[in-house]
A = this chain, B = another copy of it.
Amino acid sequence: MEPRISLVTLGVADLERSVRFYRDGLGWPLSSASAGDVAFFRTGGAVLALYPRSLLAADAHLSPGAPGFGGITLAHNVASREQVDAVLAEAAAAGAVILKPAQEAEWGGYTGYFADPDGHPWEVAWNPYFPLGPDGSVQLPK
């Protein structure tokens, strides 16, 4: 597994309120990839995403009050479906709990989740709409 945090997703109670805070309050650039329930901000490194906390928990197959779930997930994006399977297998071999086996996502990608030794959830994702740059980072549209 390459050393890379692709996205940090914050679970939020009120998406509009949080978008106002980051976009208008702090001046961060909202990406046009934002749609519906999710907002993405372009940064110098790991993308910041905002998503309703209950949906975020459900996506990771966690209850909103699960131990180790503080309403944040980290994502590690890869370039192919096969790499999703490979990274999840590597994490499991390292002792991680697989929260959600890799599967087709509604939005057209392929993703799964593992939990690290403290229960911190990591999504491993192939997202055909988010191309990766030469350094492996997600290249969000403006």
Q: Tell me the A residues contacting B by CB distance below 8 Å.
A: 1-6, 8, 10-14, 17-18, 21-22, 24-29, 41-46, 48, 53, 68-72, 74, 90-91, 93-96, 116-118, 120, 135-137
Contacts and interface: CB of A to CB of B under 8 A. Distances in A.
A137 B74 CA distance: 18
Contact of A117 (B21, B48, B93): B21
Contacts of A25: 90-91, 93-96
Main secondary structure of the interface of A (DSSP, over half): loop
Contact of A70 (B14, B28, B68): B68
Oligomer copy total:
2
A28 to B, nearest CB: 4
B46 A117 contact: no
Which one of A48, A118, A135 has the highest number of Cβ atoms from chain B below 10 Å of its Cβ? A118
B3 A5 contact: no
A74 B71 CA distance: 13
Given A27-B1, A45-B5, A13 B118 contact: yes
Contact of A44 (B4, B21, B53, B74): B4
A10 B116 contact: yes
A84 to B, nearest CB: 15
A90 B137 CA distance: 28
Contacts of A42: 3
